[in-house]
């Protein structure tokens, strides 16, 4: 992953946030925004990590029976995995960027993913 991160457009996209703590302030704002959504069973989000799209781009089943990916494999997102407060072996995936917030659930190893929220910012 250390080899992949510097080649992604993430760093160029967030360059404007890199002076005097703006990036950390942006992450704090995202955390507050995500926590305010009040997703049932999801623990409080404490921090966001840089995550490469190709590692977190799950394929979600849609109501019409097809499956779709919503992320770009070559982009780095801010996100975290949170273990559910109500079910063992069940996780919440939180991903965000300047443009959107995505929250999903899945079982161990990314199995049986379900898209809970895709919200434009």
The pLDDT of residue 66? 96
Mean per-residue pLDDT, 70-86: 92
pLDDT at position 69 over 90:
yes
pLDDT at position 8 over 60:
no
Range of the domain at 39: 5-120
The pair of three-digit structure tokens given for residue 44, joined into one six-digit string: 């409080």
Calpha distance 100→19 (Å, rounded): 23
Calpha distance 121→24 (Å, rounded): 18
Calpha distance 67→61 (Å, rounded): 4
The contacts of residue 81 (CB under 8 Å, 6+ apart) are 91, 92, 93, 94
The DSSP bridge partners found for residue 76 are 52
Number of domains the chain is built from: 1
pLDDT at position 15 over 60:
no
pLDDT at position 31 over 70:
yes
- On average, the pLDDT of the chain sits at 87
Mean per-residue pLDDT, 20-42: 91
The pLDDT of residue 9? 56
């Amino acid at each position: 992953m250390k080899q992949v991160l510097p080649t992604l457009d993430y760093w160029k996209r967030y360059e404007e946030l890199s002076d005097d703590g703006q990036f950390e302030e942006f992450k704090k704002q995202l955390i507050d925004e995500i926590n305010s959504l009040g997703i049932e069973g999801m623990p409080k989000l404490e921090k966001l990590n840089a995550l490469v799209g190709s590692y977190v781009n799950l394929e979600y089943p849609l109501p019409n029976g097809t499956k779709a990916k919503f992320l770009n494999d070559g982009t780095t997102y801010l996100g975290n995995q949170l273990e559910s407060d109500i079910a063992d072996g069940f996780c919440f995936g939180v991903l965000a960027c300047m443009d959107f917030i995505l929250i999903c659930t899945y079982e161990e190893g990314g199995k049986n993913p379900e898209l809970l929220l895709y919200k434009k910012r």
